[in-house]
C-alpha cells in the first residue's frame, strides 16, 4: 500500500513538473523567433532580457560588458574592435533622420556625459547648432594633419628662400653732396594723402594740420620748389614763406594758382614731374656719414672740431630733400634711418634751376631774395633772413665777388660781432652746420655775403648778422647760376 501511494505521488509530481516547464518553453519560443528576426535585421544587435533593462560596464581591458539588471547575468562582452561606433550612428541619425527622440546616455561613458551636457545647453538656448549638413561634433579638423608628402617623400615648403649673405663692401666716408642727387622713384598715386574735404563747395584745410592735411600743404610746397619759388623747408605748414613763394610762382609761371586750388595743384604737379612725394632707399653712404655727435654753440668749441658735419642721417636726408627734419620723421614713423636699404618717403622736389642769373634783389621788407635773368624775368625766389637792428645789412647795390662751396668761416670779433666770450680770431671748420652753412657767395663789401645756414627751419623768421641767409640747398642752387659781377640790390 505504501509503495503504491509513493508511486502515485511521484507520478503526480512528474506531471506537475512537466506542465510547469511547458509554460516557459511556449513563452520563449516566440521570443526566440522575434530575436532571430531582430538579429537578421541588425547583425550587431544584442539579445537582452527583462524588457530591455540592462546595464553597461567597461572592464580594465576596454571591453564593453552588458549585464541584465534584474538577474545580474552577463549578457554579452564586446571587445573595443568589434562593437559598433555609437558616434557614427548618431551622426548618421542627425543627417538622415533628424534628432533622436529617445536617446540614452550612459554616465559611465565620458563621451556620453559630454554629449548629454551639450544637449542640455542646446535646449537652454546657450549653444546655437549649425545646420545639420555642416554639424559634425566629432569630426577632426582638416588642418590638424600635415600635408601629404610630395614625390620623393619630402614635405612641401612654402617659406621663401633665405636671403643670401651680402658681401661686405667698403664705404668711403665723404660729405653728402646735395648737388649729386639722383632722380627718385615716384610713389604710386594711392600713397598720396586724401584731398581736403569740401564744405559748401570750397576746399577747407583743417587748422589743426593733421599729418594728412600737412601732406596737402607739403604738396603745394613741393610744386613751388620745382618752379624755383622756394618755400624754404617742406614742412606741410602754411606761413609767410609759402605765401611769398606762391606769389613768386605765379610771377614765374604766369599762372594764378591759389593755395586752396587742390585740382590745379595736382594738375601742375603732374605736368612738372609727377607726385609730390617719392620713395628713396637709404644707401650705405647715407648711413656712414661722416656725422658728429653734436654741434656746440660756442665758436671756440666749434673751432676745435675737424668738421661741422650733420649730426644724424635724418638731418642729412632732410636737407638733401629740402625738408624739415621733424616732418621727415613724421612721414616715416616706422623707418630705421640708420639701416641701409630702408625705403622712406621724401619730397620729390625735381630739378634745380639752371638759368643764369643777371641780377639779384635782396628785399628786406619781404625777407626774400629774388633772382632775374638777363631779360629781367624772375627765375628764382628764396625766403631769406636779411640783417638785424644790431647788425643791419648793406644798402644800395653791390656785386658778387666770388663763390665758395663748403667754406671755412673766419670769426673776427674786431670787425663783425662778438660771440660769447670769444675775443680772438677763430677759424671755424667747414660743414653744413657751420655759421655760414655749406655756401658762401661773397659781395664786394667786405665781410658781407649770401650764405647758407645750419637752421633751415628758421629762415625768414629770425635775424642775421647783416648778411643774406638762405637755406643750404637754396644757397647752393643760387651759387651754381650766379657768377662774379652779378649785381645785388638791397631794398627795404
Which residues are catalytic, by number? 451, 467
CA pair distance 291, 304, nearest whole angstrom: 15
Residue 227 Ramachandran class (φ > 0 left, ψ -120 to 50 alpha, else beta):
alpha
| Region class of 406: left (phi > 0), else alpha (psi between -120 and 50), else beta | left
Closest CA to 283 of 234, 317, 309, 310: 317
DSSP string covering 382-447: EE-EE--SSSPPP-EEEEEEEEEES--EEE-TTTS---TT--S-EEEPPSTTSTTTTEEEEESSTT
- Written as nine digits, the cell of 374 is 638777363
Strand partners, 398: 488
Name the phi and psi angles at 409, rounded to 5.
-130, 130
Q: Of 344, 94, 380, which is closest to residue 231 (Cα–Cα)?
A: 380
CA–CA separation, 464 vs 462, rounded Å? 7
CA atoms within 13 A on the CB side of 280: 25
* Cβ neighbours around 98 below 10 Å, total: 9
Q: What is the C-alpha separation between 119 and 173, in angstroms, rounded?
A: 76
Contact 63, 80 (CB under 8 A): yes
Residues in the chain: 492
Other CB atoms within 10 Å distance of the CB of residue 121? 12
For the purposes of burial, counting CB atoms within 10 Å of the CB of 473, is it exposed (0-12), middle (13-18) or buried (19 or more)?
buried
Which run of H or of E encompasses 259?
none
Taking each continuous run of H as one helix and of E as one strand, the counts in the chain are 11, 19
Cα 275 to Cα 329: distance, rounded to the nearest angstrom: 19
Interstrand relation of 449-451 and 468-469 (parallel, antiparallel or unpaired): parallel
Secondary structure letter of residue 457 according to DSSP: G
CA distance 64 to 77: 6
Sequence-ordered strand ranges (E) for 167-274: 185-186, 198-199, 202-203
- List, in sequence order, the alpha helices (H) in 42-101: 86-96
Cα 395 to chain centroid distance, Å, stands at 54
How far is residue 105's CA from residue 118's CA, in Å, rounded to a whole number? 12
Amino acid at each position: 500500500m505504501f509503495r503504491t501511494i509513493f508511486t502515485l505521488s511521484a507520478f503526480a509530481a512528474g506531471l506537475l513538473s512537466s506542465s510547469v516547464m511547458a509554460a516557459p518553453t511556449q513563452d520563449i519560443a516566440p521570443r526566440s523567433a522575434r530575436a532571430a528576426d531582430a538579429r537578421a535585421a541588425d547583425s550587431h544587435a544584442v539579445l537582452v532580457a527583462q524588457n530591455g533593462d540592462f546595464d553597461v560596464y567597461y572592464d580594465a581591458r576596454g571591453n564593453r560588458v552588458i549585464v541584465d539588471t534584474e538577474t545580474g547575468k552577463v549578457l554579452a562582452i564586446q571587445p573595443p574592435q568589434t562593437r559598433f561606433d555609437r558616434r557614427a550612428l548618431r551622426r548618421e541619425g542627425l543627417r538622415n533622420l533628424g534628432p533622436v527622440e529617445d536617446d540614452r546616455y550612459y554616465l559611465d561613458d565620458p563621451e556620453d556625459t559630454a554629449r548629454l551636457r551639450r544637449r542640455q545647453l542646446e535646449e537652454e538656448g546657450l549653444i546655437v547648432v549649425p545646420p545639420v549638413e555642416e554639424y559634425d561634433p566629432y569630426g577632426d579638423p582638416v588642418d590638424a594633419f600635415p600635408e601629404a608628402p610630395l614625390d620623393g617623400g619630402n614635405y612641401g615648403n612654402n617659406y621663401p628662400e633665405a636671403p643670401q649673405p651680402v658681401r661686405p663692401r667698403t664705404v668711403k666716408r665723404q660729405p653728402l653732396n646735395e648737388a649729386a642727387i639722383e632722380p627718385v622713384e615716384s610713389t604710386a598715386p594711392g600713397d598720396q594723402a586724401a584731398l581736403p574735404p569740401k564744405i559748401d563747395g570750397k576746399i577747407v584745410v583743417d587748422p589743426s594740420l593733421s599729418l594728412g592735411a600737412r601732406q596737402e600743404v607739403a604738396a603745394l610746397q613741393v610744386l613751388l620748389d620745382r618752379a624755383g619759388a622756394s618755400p624754404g623747408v617742406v614742412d606741410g605748414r602754411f606761413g609767410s614763406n609759402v605765401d611769398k613763394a606762391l606769389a613768386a610762382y605765379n610771377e614765374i609761371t604766369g599762372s594764378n594758382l591759389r593755395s586752396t586750388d587742390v585740382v590745379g595743384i595736382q594738375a601742375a604737379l603732374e605736368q612738372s614731374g609727377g607726385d609730390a612725394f617719392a620713395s628713396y632707399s637709404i644707401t650705405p653712404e647715407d648711413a656712414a656719414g661722416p656725422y658728429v655727435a653734436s654741434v656746440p654753440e660756442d665758436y671756440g668749441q666749434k673751432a676745435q672740431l675737424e668738421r661741422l658735419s650733420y649730426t644724424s642721417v635724418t638731418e642729412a636726408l632732410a636737407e638733401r630733400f629740402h625738408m624739415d627734419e621733424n616732418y621727415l620723421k613724421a612721414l616715416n614713423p616706422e623707418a630705421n634711418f640708420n639701416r641701409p636699404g630702408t625705403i622712406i618717403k621724401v619730397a620729390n622736389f625735381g630739378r634745380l634751376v639752371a638759368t643764369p642769373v643777371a641780377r639779384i634783389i635782396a628785399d628786406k621788407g619781404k625777407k626774400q631774395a629774388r633772382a632775374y635773368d638777363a631779360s629781367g624775368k624772375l627765375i628764382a625766389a628764396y625766403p631769406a633772413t636779411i640783417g638785424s637792428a644790431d647788425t643791419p645789412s648793406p644798402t644800395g647795390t653791390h656785386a658778387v665777388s666770388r663763390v665758395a662751396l663748403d667754406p671755412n668761416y673766419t670769426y673776427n670779433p674786431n670787425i663783425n660781432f662778438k660771440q660769447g666770450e670769444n675775443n680772438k680770431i677763430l677759424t671755424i671748420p667747414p660743414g653744413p652746420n657751420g655759421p655760414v652753412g655749406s655756401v658762401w657767395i661773397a659781395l664786394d663789401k667786405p665781410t658781407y655775403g649770401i650764405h647758407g645756414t645750419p637752421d633751415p627751419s628758421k629762415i625768414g623768421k629770425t635775424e642775421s648778422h647783416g648778411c643774406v641767409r638762405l637755406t643750404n640747398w637754396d644757397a647752393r642752387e643760387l651759387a651754381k647760376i650766379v657768377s662774379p659781377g652779378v649785381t645785388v640790390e638791397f631794398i627795404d
